[in-house]
């Protein structure tokens, strides 16, 4: 039985985000499901927390500059957690062949451009390394990637071609500074809205606990290859309720850490 046809249990979730208490309902498959199943549930929590952050910012007089068709941030290096990589692979596999092939060609083109710039191998190492990288190493990769101004393989006519399935990092970047500053994120001081729940971080920590490995973030152009190479891990199953419990545990820990730092 697939997770989409499996009976579900409804959970009432209450968490304290920086803007105050957040209560929501999530439907979780009752049986055993692969890790990709938890991705939309985690994103639901992240997006509802973000809604509260936007509401509070607007009440304080801020304006969200991000609009439909704005694609300035679609040239940044987008990291995915392993569960997100599996979920993205599943979505791409479900597309009609012509659409799937078009995206795969664009991914191949992006990898060719990265190889030409000398960035493909460092990014492959990032996706495979058994050791955590230092922040300075990540910053260097992020700056080098952005310097290429390489459009996301899923960007089509200025809009996201997989909008409903886009990575969490894409959902979380909202700015209150003028939109024209986003045309050069390397040199302009944009003002991003705080992210209450970084879903990729939550899911990366979840995957690390489940597999006894380091938290891992995979650059978007490599995510489908990574998911295919780790197919056996993607097919492993866990009880849906247990996945939710462990996900919430990571959310609560990160929120406690974030709000504790703000109070210091």
One digit per residue, the tens of pLDDT, for the chain of length 264 reads 455 578 999 999 999 999 999 999 999 999 999 999 999 999 999 999 999 999 999 999 999 998 887 888 899 999 999 999 999 999 999 999 999 999 999 999 999 999 999 999 999 998 988 777 777 778 889 999 999 999 999 999 889 999 999 999 999 999 999 888 888 888 888 999 999 999 999 999 999 999 998 888 899 999 999 999 999 999 999 999 999 999 999 999 999 887 766 654
pLDDT at residue number 72:
85
DSSP state of 128: H
Q: Are 210 and 246 in contact (CB under 8 A)?
A: yes
CA atoms of 203 and 85, how far apart (whole Å): 11
| Residue 80 to residue 261: CA distance in whole angstroms | 26
CA atoms lying within 13 Å on the CB side of residue 160: 16
pLDDT computed for residue 209 by the predictor: 95
What pLDDT was estimated at residue 262? 60
pTM, rounded to two decimals: 0.93
């Amino acid at each position: 039985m697939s997770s989409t046809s499996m009976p579900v249990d409804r959970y009432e979730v209450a968490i304290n985000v920086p803007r105050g208490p957040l209560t929501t309902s999530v439907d979780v498959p009752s049986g055993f499901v692969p890790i990709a199943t938890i991705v939309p549930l985690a994103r639901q929590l992240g997006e509802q927390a973000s809604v509260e952050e936007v509401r509070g910012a607007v009440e304080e007089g801020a304006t969200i500059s991000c609009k439909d068709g704005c694609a300035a941030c679609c040239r940044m290096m987008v990291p995915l957690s392993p569960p997100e990589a599996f979920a993205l692979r599943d979505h791409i596999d479900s597309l009609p062949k012509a659409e799937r092939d078009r995206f795969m060609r664009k991914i191949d083109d992006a990898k060719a451009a990265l190889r030409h710039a000398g960035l493909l191998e460092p990014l492959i190492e990032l996706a495979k390394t058994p050791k955590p990288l230092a922040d300075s190493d990540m910053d260097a990769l992020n700056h080098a990637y952005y310097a290429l101004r390489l459009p996301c393989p899923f960007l089509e006519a200025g809009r996201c071609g997989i909008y409903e399935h886009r990575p969490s990092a894409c959902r979380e970047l909202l700015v209150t500074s003028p939109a024209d500053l986003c045309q050069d994120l390397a040199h302009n001081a944009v003002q991003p809205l705080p992210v209450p729940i970084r879903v990729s971080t939550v899911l990366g920590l979840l995957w690390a606990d489940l597999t006894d490995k380091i938290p891992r973030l995979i650059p978007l152009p490599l995510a489908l290859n990574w998911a295919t190479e780790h197919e056996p891990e993607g097919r492993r199953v866990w009880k849906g309720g247990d996945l939710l419990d462990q996900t919430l545990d990571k959310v609560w820990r990160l929120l406690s850490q974030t709000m504790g730092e703000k109070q210091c």
